[in-house]
Chains A and B, each alone.
Chain A
Amino acid sequence: MHEWALAEAVIEAAVEDARKEGMTRIREITVRIGELQQIELDPFTFALDEIIKLHGELLQHAQVKLEDEPAIFKCRVCSTEWHYQKASLNEAEGEAIHFAPEVAHAYMRCPRCKSPDFEVLQGRGVTIQRITGLK
């Protein structure tokens, strides 16, 4: 369950940011889940809840809101854009990308010109969109 490690990163980053902003309570952390990484939501939210419990005051009443971000790719050679569903990856490839999304460049090709030189326009992985709280 490597989702735990990413959940830990989210909480560490939120705490760091809240301290910098001088917050005394974090109310809500909005996390974007990029489609390419294929995060398993159950273990991820479980981990977030457990890690939040380990922290004191600052996170006591914190809610985590998850937003899905579809993955969109753009070919640097022919400018074609495509979605994740078009990628048709097998299980092992999907698993490798789950651990390190950049290895998509080993397993995906532009559907039009077959180039591996593409950009991930959005939906790569886990990012924090917003943190709200009380000062």
Chain B
Amino acid sequence: MDPRVSVVDKRLAGIERIIAVTGGKGGIGKSLTSSVLALTLAQLGYKVGLLDLDMSAPSAHVILGIDGIFPEEEYGIIPPEVHGISFMSICYFTGDEPAPLRGEDITNAMLELLAITRWGALDFLIVDMPPGIGDAAMDVIRWLKRAEFLILTTGSKVALVTVKKVIQMLQELQKPIVGVIENMKMRESGLVRDELSAYNVPLLGAIEFDMDLEDKIGDAAALAESTMAARLTEIVIQDPRFKLSQN
């Protein structure tokens, strides 16, 4: 018997809201959005954690410019606080070496992080989900029982075809969906609204395609000033779905 699953709930017990950022495909901005959302919430004064669960291609540390730090050991491991965010990723352990992980290895590595990381008290834990609805994503959905899902799409039919499947699956599993954000918006179009109208999911807003975003990667202060941060701040402040229960 694998003892680790049994302790996951206990590790997450001090967290008020777990927001898992997902979407159909790779490359639609899950990692950027998770990282900038975590920054935004931290700037608004919330206690925030960020967990990168993309074991094959962890990238939140690159986005936030996190390098040369290692978690402390204390009855488990304590995620280091960087830019006001408690940050955990497999990157602390793999360094820059390529680590080819099979499905079972990915499951094991994610579960190990969930079992040993002590987050303490947080308002929000933002989870950068493994892409799609494969083994890894299904594991996370099963283990993070209290997770609420923030779904990213782009305004392209190619992204939407898979996003619809993600939404349908989450709804079948009766998982809460915070809403959908359209990322990399390039023009006005009703496509996202029309394609998703049948699913009864809140459309939270859109983040424009930002030509200058690339220059801000690795620089948390610059990212906090990006249009992505501005849009996410609007969404978080205006949308009642981001309120904590006590406020």
Contact = CB atoms under 8 A, between A and B. Distances in A.
The answer to whether A and B assemble together is: yes
Contact of A99 (B4, B99, B116): B116
Given A102-B105, A116-B98, A2 B113 contact: no
B204 interface: no
Contacts of B75: 1-2, 4-5, 8
A1 B74 contact: yes
Contact of B7 (A12, A125, A127): A12
Given A2-B116, A5-B77, A100 B3 contact: no
B240 interface: no
A98 to B, nearest CB: 9
B3 A13 contact: yes
Nearest to B76: A5
Interface stretch (A52-60, A79-87, A103-111): A103-111
Contacts of B95: 96, 106
Given A1-B74, A13-B1, A17-B1, A103 B94 contact: yes
B239 to A, nearest CB: 35
B2, B55, B116: which has the most chain A beta carbons within 10 Å?
B116
B5 interface: yes
A13 B118 CA distance: 18
A117 B73 CA distance: 30
Given A4-B76, A106-B95, A127-B1, A100 B6 contact: no
B109 interface: yes
B6 A99 contact: no
Label chain A's interface by main secondary structure.
helix
Report which residue of A6, A9, A10, A16 has the largest number of chain B beta carbons within 10 angstroms of its beta carbon. Answer: A9
Given A4-B76, A5-B77, A5-B118, A102 B112 contact: yes
A116 B97 CA distance: 11
A5 B90 CA distance: 17
Contacts of A96: 92-95
A100 B76 contact: no
B122 to A, nearest CB: 17
A23 interface: no
Interface in B95-151: 95, 97-102, 105-106, 108-109, 112-113, 115-116, 118
Given A99-B112, A116-B100, A2 B77 contact: yes
Contact of A9 (B3, B73, B90, B113): B3
A101 B97 contact: no
Given A12-B7, A100-B93, A126-B3, A106 B73 contact: no
B187 interface: no
B2 A105 contact: no
A2 B106 CA distance: 21
B139 to A, nearest CB: 14
Interface string B55-80: 10000000000000000011111000
A72 interface: no
Given A8-B7, A96-B94, A102-B106, 6 more contacts: A5-B116, A14-B3, A102-B99, A102-B108, A105-B99, A105-B101
29 contacts: A2-B77, A6-B3, A9-B4, A12-B6, A13-B4, A96-B92, A96-B93, A96-B95, A99-B92, A100-B90, A100-B109, A100-B112, A100-B113, A101-B108, A102-B112, A103-B90, A103-B94, A103-B99, A105-B100, A105-B101, A106-B95, A106-B97, A116-B99, A117-B102, A124-B108, A125-B112, A127-B2, A127-B3, A128-B1
Give 8 closest A-B pairs by Cβ, nearest first.
Answer: A5-B76, A13-B3, A106-B97, A106-B99, A13-B6, A9-B7, A102-B109, A96-B93
